[in-house]
Amino acid sequence: TDIGVRVDIGAYTERGEWIDGYLHVGQIRQDGDYLETGKMMNEVYLGEHIRVRVRQCVPATGWLSLSMRSEEDLPDLFMGKPRPYIFQDLEPGLKVNGIVRRVWEKWALVDIGADRLARIHVSQHKRETTRYGFARLGRLHKTAFTAYAQGALLEDLYVKDLDTANQFVTITQNKPRSPLKAKMPEQRRGGIDGVEAPPAKQERISGGEKKERERAEKEKAPWDPYVPHVDEWLEESMMPDEDTDSWVARTENEIFADMQASGEFDDEEEGDEFVSDTEVMQDDFDDEEFAEDEFADNDFADGQFEGASDVGFGPNAFSVNELDGWVLDESKPGELADDKDMEKLTEEQIEAMFDADDDTFIG
Please, what are the domains in the chain? 1-71 (no CATH), 73-180 (2.40.50.140), 328-363 (no CATH)
Per-residue model confidence as pLDDT tens digits over 198-236:
677 777 888 888 888 888 888 888 876 656 666 677 777
As a dihedral over the C-alpha atoms of residue 292, residue 296, residue 301, residue 302, rounded to 10 degrees, the angle is -20
Tell me the CA end-to-end span of the chain in Å, nearest whole number: 137
DSSP 135: B
Is residue 180 scored above 50 in pLDDT? no
Using only C-alpha atoms, the chain has a radius of gyration, in whole angstroms, of 57
Confidence class of residue 8 from pLDDT cuts 50, 70 and 90? very high
Query: Which range has the worst mean pLDDT, 25-29, 208-212, 255-259, 270-274?
Result: 270-274
Give me the phi and psi of 170, to 5 degrees please.
-110, 130
Share of the chain above pLDDT 70, in %: 63
Per-residue model confidence as pLDDT tens digits over 25-68:
888 888 777 788 788 888 888 889 999 999 889 888 888 999 88
Per-residue model confidence as pLDDT tens digits over 338-360:
555 455 667 777 777 777 655 55
Is residue 23 scored above 60 in pLDDT? yes
Confidence class of residue 276 from pLDDT cuts 50, 70 and 90? low
Per-residue model confidence as pLDDT tens digits over 72-131:
888 888 888 888 888 888 888 889 999 998 898 889 999 999 988 999 999 998 888 888
C-beta separation of 98 from 150 below 8 A: no
Beta bridge partners of 155: none
Most confident of 128-137, 182-191, 195-204, 262-271: 128-137
C-beta separation of 92 from 99 below 8 A: no
Q: What is the pLDDT of residue 317?
A: 54
Angle, CA 312 vertex, CA 308 and CA 317 arms, to 5°: 145
**Cβ-Cβ contacts under 8 Å for 172 (sequence gap 6 or more):** 120, 124, 157, 158, 160
The SS3 of residue 42 is helix
**Cβ-Cβ contacts under 8 Å for 169 (sequence gap 6 or more):** 87, 90, 112, 114, 116, 117, 118, 119, 159, 161, 162, 163
The SS3 of residue 357 is helix
- Other beta carbons less than 10 A from residue 219's beta carbon: 8
CA distance 77 to 90: 18
Looking at every residue in the chain, the average pLDDT score rounds to 74
CA distance 27 to 44: 12
